[in-house]
Amino acid sequence: MHLDWVELREFRNHRHTRLEAIPDGMVAVVGPNGEGKTNLLEAVYFLYALASPRSASNAGLVRTGAEAAYVRGQVRTQGGNPLVEIEIPRRGASRVQVNRSAVRRKRDLRREVRAVLFGPFDLPVVIGEPAKRRGFLDDAVVALWPMREPELTAYDRVLRQRNRLLKEWGGAGAPPELAAWDEELVKAGSAVIRARADAVSRLAPPAAREFEHTAGYPLVCTYLPNLWSDADLEGAFLDRLAERRSDELVRRTSLVGPHRDDVELAVRELGARAFGSHGETWAAALCLRLGLATAVQDEIGEPPLLLVDDPFSALDPDRREQLGARLAAREGQVLLSTADAADVPSAAAAVWDVRGGTVSPREAA
């Protein structure tokens, strides 16, 4: 999967940036902090994912004084060369076209083009609350199998409605409608559990290998579902709901299901969240994304675009060098940002200097 060119208008601090003939291999994006390196990678990721991990709304993506931002680019894949064009208004939903035709569902674009993004916002996946790790799992499911995204949204919808019923019920015993919502919760929740388990089984082995190359010892990534059964997951789900029925009625919320899942991350037999050094936790977060990129490549038969924002900042010099060499040797395109030109791997195919939202390509050393 190859990004041939990309154009940004009014995207954060990029008034107008157009980059042509983007090479294969690694492209290093270099410049002081606050000049627009991360914004550039974010815009490229938006071109693929139609979402930003840094902003919940479009308003933050639009340059001050403008009413809308625009991102355009041509992608080369095994299945074709889609032209993707996105208008991002300050208010309201983004408008997306692929080959000049409107796209109404995000998964229709995600099925055609794939990208994986790492940035400092990933650190809470390792050291934060379980919700951050559940979010990573759901990101992984969508990256691997975009058409399974409705399974995730269906569960969220059923969970909200079931919780509303429990919260508003004031009668004796259980609400009469609860049995029907139990069936919906079990159906949707079992699909989410299986999807997450599949995703972890795909990404955990390559993530462990990447971490071992960087740190010298493996990262263990284990899915901890709230409930599980190899034989009859739906039956186990229903049984657990029956066991927790009285607690749910007292607490007026759903206590069973994948909204209570977690992921265990461990290095050297110690939990990464509690015992990992800052460098280890940073490397663990990065290697989870690298493992996901490898899993996506295995799934679709070509590497996704890999976007790596500021990967070296928490690593010692030896690990920086090892990581840089590993990233430069990956198949496909890698866009890597760094504030220090000394960290640019010698094998980089191109270097882009960024100052004040202006990008100036130059030949790599």
Q: What is the CA radius of gyration of the chain?
A: 22
The pLDDT, as a whole number, for residue 268 is 78
Cα–Cα separations (whole angstroms), residue 217 to 14, 46, 66, 220: 41, 34, 49, 10
pLDDT-derived band at 322, boundaries 50, 70, 90: confident
Q: Which residues pair with 360 in a beta bridge?
A: 353
Show the tokens assigned to 123. 């650190």
The pLDDT, as a whole number, for residue 24 is 93
pLDDT-derived band at 173, boundaries 50, 70, 90: confident
Q: Where are the domains of the chain?
A: 1-114+304-365, 123-303
Q: What percent of the chain has pLDDT over 70?
A: 98
HSE at residue 297, side-chain half, CA atoms within 13 A, is 19
Q: Give Cα 13 to chain centroid, integer Å.
A: 23
Mean pLDDT of the chain: 93
Is 80 exceeded by the pLDDT of residue 365?
Answer: no
C-alpha to C-alpha distance for 286 and 210, rounded to whole angstroms = 9
What's the topology of domain 123-303?
A: Glutathione S-transferase Yfyf (Class Pi); Chain A, domain 2 (1.20.1050)
Average pLDDT, stretch 242-254?
A: 96
Per the CB < 8 A criterion, the answer to whether 182 and 188 are in contact is no
**pLDDT tens readout for residues 261-270:** 999 999 877 7
Is 80 exceeded by the pLDDT of residue 272?
Answer: no
Is 80 exceeded by the pLDDT of residue 275?
Answer: no
The pLDDT, as a whole number, for residue 4 is 96
**pLDDT tens readout for residues 184-238:** 999 999 999 999 999 999 999 999 999 999 888 889 999 999 999 999 999 999 9
Query: Which burial class, exposed, middle or buried, applies to 8 when counting CB atoms under 10 A from its CB (0-12, 13-18, 19+)?
Result: buried
254 three-class SS: coil
The pLDDT, as a whole number, for residue 57 is 86
SS3 readout for 294-314: HHHHHHHCCCCEEEEECCCCC
Query: Which burial class, exposed, middle or buried, applies to 216 when counting CB atoms under 10 A from its CB (0-12, 13-18, 19+)?
Result: exposed
Per the CB < 8 A criterion, the answer to whether 118 and 285 are in contact is yes
**pLDDT tens readout for residues 49-74:** 998 988 888 899 999 999 999 999 99
The pLDDT, as a whole number, for residue 305 is 97
Cα–Cα separations (whole angstroms), residue 320 to 159, 213, 219, 284: 43, 11, 18, 14
- Positive or negative: CA dihedral 98, 114, 3, 47: positive
**pLDDT tens readout for residues 107-166:** 888 888 999 999 999 999 999 999 999 999 999 999 999 999 999 999 999 999 999 999
Per the CB < 8 A criterion, the answer to whether 280 and 272 are in contact is yes
120 three-class SS: helix
DSSP 143-157: HH-GGGHHHHHHHHH
For 1-114+304-365, CATH gives 3.40.50.300
Residue 54: what residue type?
R
Average pLDDT, stretch 268-281?
A: 76
What is this structure's pTM? 0.94
C-alpha to C-alpha distance for 211 and 214, rounded to whole angstroms = 5
137: nearest Cα among 45, 263, 229, 2: 263
How far apart, in Å, do the first and last CA atoms of the chain sit?
A: 25
Residue matched to tokens 């060098």: 321
- Matching fold, domains 1-114+304-365 and 123-303: no
pLDDT-derived band at 106, boundaries 50, 70, 90: confident
